[in-house]
Amino acid sequence: DSIANQIAAGEVIQRPASVVKELIENSLDAGATHIILSVKDAGRTFIQVIDNGKGMSATDLRMAFERHATSKIRSADDLFSLTTMGFRGEALPSIAAISHIEVKSRREEDELGSLLVISGSKVEKQEMVAAATGTSITVKNIFFNVPARRKFLKSNETERRNIFTEFERIVLVNPDVEFTLIENGVETLHLPKTGLRQRIVQIEGKNTNQQLIEINEETTLGKIYGYIARPEFARKGKVNQFFFVNNRYIRHPYFHRAVTTAFEPLIAANEKPGYYIYFQVDPDTIDVNIHPTKTEVKFENEQALWQILMVTVKESLGKFNAIPTI
């Protein structure tokens, strides 16, 4: 059973960044307004997420580590809906199977919180303790019992970047949530609650603000909004490219080409346009790959959306005089 747990864990948890993603998504699901992520050694030895969300009762906490103990699946349709996060009751048991995990949680209405300590799926301790409202989860020594996985991890530099990438994708769809990032005991990023534009600026740096051009288009196929970076910015080296659908990050090479097509007259072939583009569509019109680590999504109306996106970006570039008039 513990071997089965470890194998299943490998599906969901591939590296420290996967733990970070699952824990933060749980905190968001719990309605947290402030989330603190703390990592040491690129997450190898220590990952901690503290939230001020709704917390769990002692029973809920224990249940959360039973496989498929999710509170989320209500219908088979939910499996295809991007409105719920995470991988449906797999994350916590999977993390517990391959690490030393300590969780403290308290609901507002409870006087005491509870503490649960699990090591390689084995419950070591559960007791009532004083605790702040919300949940604090500490994951130590990821893959301590799966040497093959541990060996598969990349350099600290790479694992750290993977963590930051997940963090960035999440904070960019939750500007109304405050985030704190602590690395090896030092606070490296603090993002107070704000609006979307300012959240991008918080991440990319102050002088990004004047580089951002808003896009906003509502159609029968859904809403497309967000920001593109002025073409001059493509020349300055550091650009980011993000697509999100229904508040989840996706990769979309086809839509990427719609954006580059719109930018084409304005930038050189080796330059990359920066963009933060958000789609809101009916979940029934997208097909999500069920695997939790995949970020590919198929849209029902892909060709029409390609066209709308391309024209929207082009018009915004023109409207803000980014396109020189002849």
**Closer to ligand ADP by Cβ: residue 11 or 302:** 11
Tell me: does residue 72 bind ligand ADP (CB under 6 A).
yes
Between CA 233 and CA 275 the distance in angstroms is: 11
Which residue among 12, 50, 91, 258 contacts Mg ion (CB under 5 A)? 91
Stretches 82-90, 197-205, 225-233, 289-297: which one binds Mg ion (CB under 5 A)? 82-90
Nearest distance from C-beta of residue 26 to Mg ion, angstroms? 4
**Closer to ligand ADP by Cβ: residue 64 or 313:** 64
Instruction: Answer with the entry of ligand ADP, Mg ion, none that 178 interacts with (C-beta below 5 to 8 A by kind).
Output: none
**Closer to ligand ADP by Cβ: residue 29 or 315:** 29
Q: Could you tell me which of 72, 53, 256, 35 has the C-alpha nearest to residue 167? A: 35
Residue 180: strand pairing partners: 36, 190
**Using an 8 Å Cβ cutoff, are 59 and 110 in contact?**
no
Instruction: Answer with the entry of Mg ion, ligand ADP, none that 71 interacts with (C-beta below 5 to 8 A by kind).
Output: ligand ADP
Instruction: Answer with the entry of Mg ion, ligand ADP, none that 88 interacts with (C-beta below 5 to 8 A by kind).
Output: ligand ADP
Tell me: does residue 175 bind ligand ADP (CB under 6 A).
no
Instruction: Answer with the entry of ligand ADP, Mg ion, none that 64 interacts with (C-beta below 5 to 8 A by kind).
Output: ligand ADP
**Using an 8 Å Cβ cutoff, are 101 and 139 in contact?**
yes
Which residue among 37, 64, 181, 245 contacts ligand ADP (CB under 6 A)? 64
Nearest distance from C-beta of residue 24 to Mg ion, angstroms? 10
Which residue among 27, 121, 260, 316 contacts ligand ADP (CB under 6 A)? 27
Tokens 């603090």 appear where? 190
Between CA 201 and CA 22 the distance in angstroms is: 25
The DSSP annotation for 1-55 comes to -HHHHHHHHHHH--SHHHHHHHHHHHHHHTT-SEEEEEEEGGGTSEEEEEE-S--
Considering only residues 214 through 273, tell me which ones interact with ligand ADP, judged by CB under 6 A.
Answer: none
Between CA 143 and CA 4 the distance in angstroms is: 15
The DSSP annotation for 234-248 comes to HTTS---EEEEETTE
| Structure tokens belonging to residue 266 | 């304005």
Tell me: does residue 274 bind ligand ADP (CB under 6 A).
no
Nearest distance from C-beta of residue 6 to ligand ADP, angstroms? 16
How close are the terminal C-alpha atoms of the chain, in Å?
71
Instruction: Answer with the entry of Mg ion, ligand ADP, none that 189 interacts with (C-beta below 5 to 8 A by kind).
Output: none
| Helix, strand, coil percentages in the chain from 3-state DSSP, rounded to 5 | 35, 30, 35
Angle 26-247-189 from CA coordinates, rounded to 5° = 65
Q: Is the sign of the CA dihedral 299, 23, 13, 152 positive or negative? A: positive
Instruction: Answer with the entry of ligand ADP, Mg ion, none that 69 interacts with (C-beta below 5 to 8 A by kind).
Output: ligand ADP
Stretches 27-35, 161-169, 172-180, 253-261: which one binds ligand ADP (CB under 6 A)? 27-35
Which residue among 43, 55, 86, 226 contacts Mg ion (CB under 5 A)? 86
Considering only residues 128 through 157, tell me which ones interact with ligand ADP, judged by CB under 6 A.
Answer: 135
Query: Which residues make up the interface to ligand ADP (CB under 6 A)?
Result: 22, 26-27, 29-30, 51, 53-56, 64, 69-72, 86-92, 135
